[in-house]
Amino acid sequence: MNDTRTAPAPFLDIVLPVYNEERILDHSVRTLHAYVKAHVPFSTRITIVDNASRDATRMIGAELAAALDGVRYVHLSEKGRGRALRAAWMASDARVLAYMDVDLSTRLDSLTALIVPIIAGGSDISIGSRLAPGALVTRSLRREVISRGYNLLLRAVLRTRFRDAQCGFKAIRAEVARGILPNVRDEGWFFDTELLVTAQRAGLRIYEVPVEWIEDTDSRVSILRTVVTDLRGVLRMLRTEPITNATLQIHAPLREIQ
Ligand SMILES: Nc1nc2c(ncn2[C@@H]2O[C@H](COP(=O)(O)OP(=O)(O)O)[C@@H](O)[C@H]2O)c(=O)[nH]1
Ligand SMILES: [Mg+2]
């Protein structure tokens, strides 16, 4: 594995949460790595975060980290996508943190649109959106209906102003992440919603980027179980006191702290 301890801190850290992804991990990481080299104008690390995969993900991840410059592999022993994102973001020394699903369902050309508002200081969190005007989405009717229904519920019950809580394509200013993540409890799929609702309540700025999304039908999600845990999460958020920006102690936008 690459020794990144002595490497200079990158500007951007792109986290790839993975669970049993032996089939696509190598191809996706190489695709993203080549894309970053060709199109991303600031220093970037790719961090693969694996929770307890039971296939060859661990071996492939370690091989990729050894073979490719700026790629690292982290292994956690407990499952949970939220747990993986929190661990990777909290440990990162980068200024801007991102994550994306390893199936690269979101077209990579949206990456700059995600990062630029954060760098420019106009946004604290940027999120890919499949439900914003301009998005181009190919997915099953079942997933479309569940996604729209869930986001409408969030709007009605939690008064959310963003359109798509669950798109696996997000970025956040590192300082904001450090302030807000200790207040985000979910370790699984509700993590994204909890992060955004907490951020909105604290008055942070959430910027939505319409994305081109092509669903990869190979999924780790058990839809019924996720719907139930999401609804439980919504109820918990209804009972959670909002935290204020003052409590978070988030100050200057990135532009000013550079
Ligand atoms: N680290 C980690 N990643 C996970 C876990 N569960 C799912 N993922 C990853 O989350 C991403 C999205 O999962 P996917 O199955 O494509 O979800 P879908 O697109 O909503 O069907 C993929 O990169 C998965 O490998 C988990 O328990 N831990
Ligand atoms: Mg997927």
- Name the residue of 18, 50, 144 to mutate for ligand 1: max ligand atoms within 8 A of Cβ: 18
* Calpha distance 38→239 (Å, rounded): 46
- Assess whether 3 carries a catalytic annotation: no
**Can you read off the two tokens belonging to residue 254?**
């990135």
Rg (CA), the chain: 17
Q: Check: CB of residue 79 under 8 Å from CB of residue 10.
A: no
Among 69, 192, 216, 218, which one carries the catalytic annotation?
192
Query: What single DSSP character describes residue 187?
Result: -
Q: Which atom of ligand 1 is nearest to the CA of 217?
A: 21
Measured in Å, residue 192 CA sits from the centre of ligand 1 at 12
Count CB-CB contacts under 10 A for residue 69.
11
Q: What is the pTM of this model?
A: 0.94
Helix axes 25-39 and 111-119, enclosed angle (nearest 10): 50
> Would you say the CB of residue 21 lies under 6 angstroms from ligand 1?
yes
CA dihedral sign of residues 219, 106, 143, 86: positive
Q: Is the CB of 143 under 6 A from ligand 1?
A: no
Q: What is the pLDDT along the chain (258 residues), one digit of tens a residue?
A: 445 456 899 999 999 999 999 999 999 999 999 999 999 999 999 999 999 999 999 999 999 999 999 999 999 999 999 999 999 999 999 999 999 999 999 999 999 999 999 999 999 999 999 999 999 999 999 999 999 999 999 999 999 999 999 999 999 999 999 999 999 999 999 999 999 999 999 999 999 999 999 999 999 999 999 999 999 999 999 999 888 877 777 765 554 433
Query: How many other CB atoms sit within 10 Å of the CB of residue 215?
Result: 15
Residues with CB under 5 A from ligand 2 (ion): 101, 103, 216
CA of 116 to the centre of ligand 2 (A): 25
How far is it, in rounded angstroms, from Cα 36 to Cα 46? 9
Residue 80 CA to ligand 1 center (angstroms) comes to: 9
- Tell which residue, 124, 102, 98, has the closest CA to residue 111: 98
Q: Are 72 and 4 spatial neighbours (Cβ–Cβ below 8 Å)? A: yes
